[in-house]
Amino acid sequence: MGTAKDAIVVVDMLNGFLKPGFPLYCGDEARAIIPNIISLITSKPDAARVFVCDSHAKDDPEFRMFPPHCVEGTEQSRVISELEGFAGRIVRKRTLDAFFKTELSGILDSIGPQRVYVVGVCTDICVLYTVAGLRVRGFEVIVPKNCVASFDKDSHEWALRHFADVLGAKVE
């Protein structure tokens, strides 16, 4: 195991969610978390960074529920320019679950962090599944509430309560 005290998992901070004009643009509230994420990353220079990124096939079954988005190799599937320089390891995922058929578990096992900070979009969808996956694997999880956002304010607030009340993550 590695010796990193902290890890920061950045979820879906991609053009497809954070650039106006794309079908799953999360809005200005989501863009407002970008400086907060940069501040967190720069305040923890020794933290390992893992960027978990939607990367769908053109015919992904998820597109029955959501409009096509973040198709592998497209502009939508790229990390936003504001965070590109901070990207550490990149984990491409095809589902809401960052651990399903990805190398995320192995990467985190090799890092061996004491704490995992989770930031990004969408609080009630991919961030939720990431936090749940981390907690069932025994990680101490911290979700800075000024570093997560979603399409729907009520669902965002529900997810923050769920992180603390059901999953045992620290929301600060």
Structural domain total, the chain: 1
In a domain, 108, yes or no: yes
What is the pLDDT, as a whole number, of residue 1? 44
Closest alpha carbon to 119 in 27, 2, 7: 7
CA separation for the pair 70, 55 (Å, rounded) = 6
The CATH number covering residue 39 comes to: 3.40.50.850
Question: Over the stretch 53-73, which tens digit does the pLDDT of each residue have?
Answer: 999 999 999 999 999 999 999
Closest alpha carbon to 98 in 21, 12, 22, 19: 12
Max CA separation in the chain (angstroms): 43
Q: Within the chain, which residues score under 50 in pLDDT?
A: 1-2
CA separation for the pair 170, 68 (Å, rounded) = 33
For residue 7 the two structure tokens come to: 């890890």
What is the pLDDT, as a whole number, of residue 2? 46
- Looking at the whole model, is its pTM more than 0.75? yes
In a domain, 155, yes or no: yes
CA separation for the pair 114, 111 (Å, rounded) = 9
What is the pLDDT, as a whole number, of residue 4? 59
**Enclosing domain of residue 154:** 6-171
Helix, strand or coil for residue 96?
coil
In a domain, 1, yes or no: no
